[in-house]
Structures are given as structure tokens and as C-alpha cells.
Amino acid sequence: MDAETQEKIEAATLRRLLTHLQSRTDVQNIDLMILANFCRNCLARWYREAAGDEGVSIEDAEARTHIYGMPYDTWKAEHQTPATPAQLAAMDARRR
């Protein structure tokens, strides 16, 4: 596979992942962190860093809007729930 085709496939895969995460607002970031050790905010940071590698300056808010499909504050207000004691315990165990 040539590099251009590989890049197109990778880009399409990321778009599909973002669409999936944007449609699964029931999945909390803490759940992603517990299970996969990354969350939507990590993706936003990676997006911003990759843009910087290409000489494009993107603010955190802009990167998060791209990843969440809406402003981060809106997503938090509409979809984020308080972490449960079980989630907090699982997160604490993951850090050890």
C-alpha cells in the first residue's frame, strides 16, 4: 500500500471513530480512560499537537469542538454525568 492510500484510510478511520464517539454520548470520558487509557480530551490534544506538527495553530477549545462535534462546555452540560464511586475507584486503581 502506498503512503497516500494509507493516509486516506487512516483519516477515514479517525472520522469514523469521531462519528462513533459523538453518537455515543452515554459513554463517559472516565469510562474511556478506565478501559482504554485515553478519552475525547486526549484525542483533542493529539489533534492539536498534530496540527502544530504541520505548522497550524489550533486552540484547545477548537480542537475539542472538532472531537466532540460541539463546544466542550455544551457537551459537558448536556452529556457528562458525575463520576460514580465505582468509576473513581477504577480510575484510582488504574493509576497505581
Read off the pLDDT of residues 1-27 as tens digits, 9 standing for 90 and up.
999 999 999 999 999 999 999 999 999
Among residues of the chain, what percentage have pLDDT more than 70? 100
Q: Which domains does the chain have, with CATH numbers?
A: 3-95 (1.10.3340.10)
Check residue 69 and report its DSSP letter.
S
Q: How far is CA 52 from CA 24, 29, 30, in A?
A: 28, 24, 27
CB 96 within 8 A of CB 43: no
Task: Report pLDDT for 94.
Answer: 86
Cell readout for 67 is: 472531537
